[in-house]
Amino acid sequence: MPLENGKQVFELNGGQPAPLPLLAFMVGDCDWVAAVDEAGARRVLEEMNGEEPGAYDDWDVELVSDEWLDKPWCDEDDRTKIVGTLREWLTAATEPAYLAGTE
């Protein structure tokens, strides 16, 4: 069950636990992911890259600022073509996922 501040979070109708919101995190120097917390952000990369749990424990994880969320990203091959923003990709995410990278 989701926890928030050590307590279970429930919907107002008393039904199922309310899902925690996805946030955008920068992991390391060149990867951005959607996750509910820092540990989840590392887990996204571990699963995507087929790594063992804990493989990215030493990597820095930072919550993405509003400025970065709204910064336009351009196409890798055509720098004049805008492909979206982290905020757009985060809004479209329905579960923890990889959003973007620069390598």
CA-CA distance, 7 to 24, in Å (whole number)? Answer: 23
CA-CA distance, 62 to 1, in Å (whole number)? Answer: 24
What residues contact 93, with CB distance under 8 A and at least 6 apart?
A: 22, 34, 99
Instruction: For residue range 88-100, list pLDDT tens digits in order.
Output: 999 999 999 999 9
Instruction: For residue range 20-30, list pLDDT tens digits in order.
Output: 899 999 999 99
**Cβ-contact 24, 32 below 8 angstroms:** yes
pTM: 0.80
